Amino acid sequence: MTEKELKILGIKLKNYGTSTGSDWFTNKDTILSSSPTNGKPIARIERTSHKDYEKVIKEAENAKLIWRDIPAPKRGEVIRQLGEKLRETKPTLGKLVSYEMGKSYQEGLGEVQEMIDICDFAVGISRQLYGNTIHSERPGHRMYDQYHPLGIVGIITAFNFPVAVWAWNSALALVCGNVVVWKPSEKTPLCAIACQHILADILKSNKLPEGISSLITGDAEVGTWLSKDRRIPLISATGSTRMGRQVAITVAERFGKTLLELGGNNAIVVTPNADLKMTIIGAVFGAVGTAGQRCTSTRRLIVHESIYDKVQQSLVEAYKQIKIGDPLDTQYHMGPLIDTDAVQIYVNALTKIKEQGGKILVTGRVLDGEGYESGCYVTPVIAEVENHLDIVQEETFAPILYLIKYSGDVRNAIELQNNVRQGLSSAIMTTNLREAEIFLSQNGSDCGIANVNIGTSGAEIGGAFGGEKETGGGRESGSDAWKVYMRRQTNTINYTSSLPLAQGIKFDL
């Protein structure tokens, strides 16, 4: 990206300590932002010190007193302005997402569109923060429940969706009357800085405190500060199951609340009644989109034995057409992995597949040569395996698709699909109504997301997003996910001159 494009997003590289030479990699007080597309450093960003962290939290505490007293529809107006600004900056912000994270430019634009969509959704929610009116058993009494802001919401996000997940949380948390403190992935800090600039400018133009939205940068240590901080009632954390488990334990020790969006091990069930053309499109995009680095990426394809060979052949042919290269070049389907550490995880997974008895159908390798100088480009893999293998039970954040054969009816496939520790996204490909309904029933998929005739990857803003088991149980985005950012209060009003007790209890004086 050019400096001119970054300035559109409020980023002036000289303000972030850009440099050249070996000191890019040796300064412990900074985070290096580099692009996996070419391996080149973009900027060096200062880490948040504990002293600065305390300043941020104090400003947030002051800002929350002002923000929560602003009527919810007025808060919604601020988020509407955010959505409009995102529309203006979509091409540039989408390009930054693509360049810093490595996903295709089309996916970068799609991620910014998710931000716009959640802003639109949140504006509507700002006029619908409803409680219930409840009939009291006592005459002359009225009961109802209402929702109040929590205060400060801490947001920890992952590299694979460096801007959208922040928006999912912030748009809703803000219209609910909270202020937010964001700790982004240290692998994509510039995307976070761009978003912070956009919202900060809107707050300033509305004469609102900048502490309504704050950004802190750093590694896991900074995330631990958030998790331990009793001044932050809710921590929303997106990332690996390992990270989420630590956050959950730390926050639970102080009786805080968590919203966890963690690992996925997503499967598509393909029955004999599937539309195979749709199946191949859904499976290939699900497996190679974002280079397999989505939490909803398709990891497993569970195929009925009667069509297994046909599906396998079609997939192998489809994989021959996948083009890998610079994600900003729209001719390519797949870009790089986020860094060389991710590449090593990919390589290790291929070794484990072979060691555990799997069969590689489409061989994977690390690409080198012209255009692949970063060392982060790999080829997608298809492996024939059994569901119980240890490597299949893990989530490998890479473009590796496992083919698994099933026999009998759809219930056998569902049992295989559910037999992993994660429970995020799932799908079935079938034109048979009974199979679809069984899959969606209480005896069907155990995931938070269950789709029919679409893949596991990609979700609309209107529905609640999240999963069960080691996925963490959190729900973000649509439906009534806004309620997690608020505290519920039950109110009972007695407008009589007597004091009857509940359950008919008598207590006379």
Q: Using H for helix, E for strand and C for coil, what is the string for 176-211?
A: CCCEEEEECCCCCHHHHHHHHHHHHHHHHHCCCCHH
The CA–CA distances, whole Å, from 402 to 109, 425, 467 equal 29, 16, 21
- Rounded Cα gap, residues 127 and 144, in angstroms: 18
In contact, 16 and 41? CB cutoff 8 Å? no
Using alpha carbons, select from 249, 256, 248, 317 the residue that is nearest to residue 473: 248
In 3-state terms the chain splits into helix, strand, coil percentages (rounded to 5) of: 40, 20, 40
496 three-class SS? coil
What is the model's pLDDT at position 13? 65
CA 107 to chain centre: 14
Q: Are 252 and 271 contained in the same domain?
A: no
Same domain membership, residue 142 and residue 211: yes
96 in a domain, yes or no? Answer: yes
The kind and range of the H/E element at 214 are strand 213-215
- Cα separation, 435 vs 431, in Å, equals 8
pTM for the whole structure: 0.95
Relative to beta strand 464-465, strand 30-34 is: unpaired
Residue at 496 is within a domain: no
Contact between residue 248 and residue 227 where contact means Cβ atoms under 8 Å apart: no
Q: Specify whether 125 is located in the same domain as 163.
A: yes
Do 82 and 126 share a domain, yes or no?
yes
Regarding whether 391 and 476 lie in a shared domain, the answer is no
Residue 483 sits in the same domain as residue 444: no
Q: Which domain holds residue 157?
A: 49-262+472-488
- Pair (285, 315) in one structural domain: yes
The tokens for 154 are 């801490």
Tell me, yes or no, whether 99 and 230 share the same domain: yes
Domain containing 325 — which CATH number?
Answer: 3.40.309.10
| Pair (272, 142) in one structural domain | no
How wide is the angle at C-alpha 218 spanned by C-alphas 212 and 224, nearest 5°? 80
- Amino acid making up residue 161: F
Which residue is it, tokens 């550490």? 341
Residues 278 and 202 in one domain: no
Q: Which amino acid is at 386?
A: E
Claim to verify: residue 442 and residue 355 sit in the same structural domain? yes
Catalytic residue among 100, 107, 186, 261: 261
Active site residue 137: no
In a domain, 115, yes or no: yes
What is the chain's pLDDT, residue by residue, as a tens digit (509 residues)?
A: 788 888 888 887 654 433 333 333 334 688 999 999 999 999 899 999 999 999 999 999 999 999 999 999 999 999 999 999 999 999 999 999 999 999 999 999 999 999 999 999 999 999 999 999 999 999 999 999 999 999 999 999 999 999 999 999 999 999 999 999 999 999 999 999 999 999 999 999 999 999 999 999 999 999 999 999 999 999 999 999 999 999 999 999 999 999 999 999 999 999 999 999 999 999 999 999 999 999 999 999 999 999 999 999 999 999 999 999 999 999 999 999 999 999 999 999 999 999 999 999 999 999 999 999 999 999 999 999 999 999 999 999 999 999 999 999 999 999 999 999 999 999 999 999 999 999 999 999 999 999 999 999 988 999 999 999 999 999 999 999 999 999 999 999 999 999 999 998 998 88
CA distances (Å), 61 to each of 114, 214, 216, 360, in order? 29, 11, 15, 55
> Domain total for the chain?
2
In a domain, 282, yes or no: yes
Domain contains 293: yes
> What's residue 347's pLDDT?
98
Q: Say which CATH number the domain at 227 has.
A: 3.40.605.10
Q: Tell me whether strands 464-465 and 476-477 are parallel, antiparallel or unpaired.
A: antiparallel
Residue 389 lies in a domain: yes
Position 3 scores a pLDDT of 81
Is residue 17 a part of any domain in this protein? no
Asked if the structure places residue 35 within a domain, the reply is no
Per-residue confidence (pLDDT) for residue 8, from 0 to 100:
86
For residues 220 and 321, membership in a common domain is answered with: no
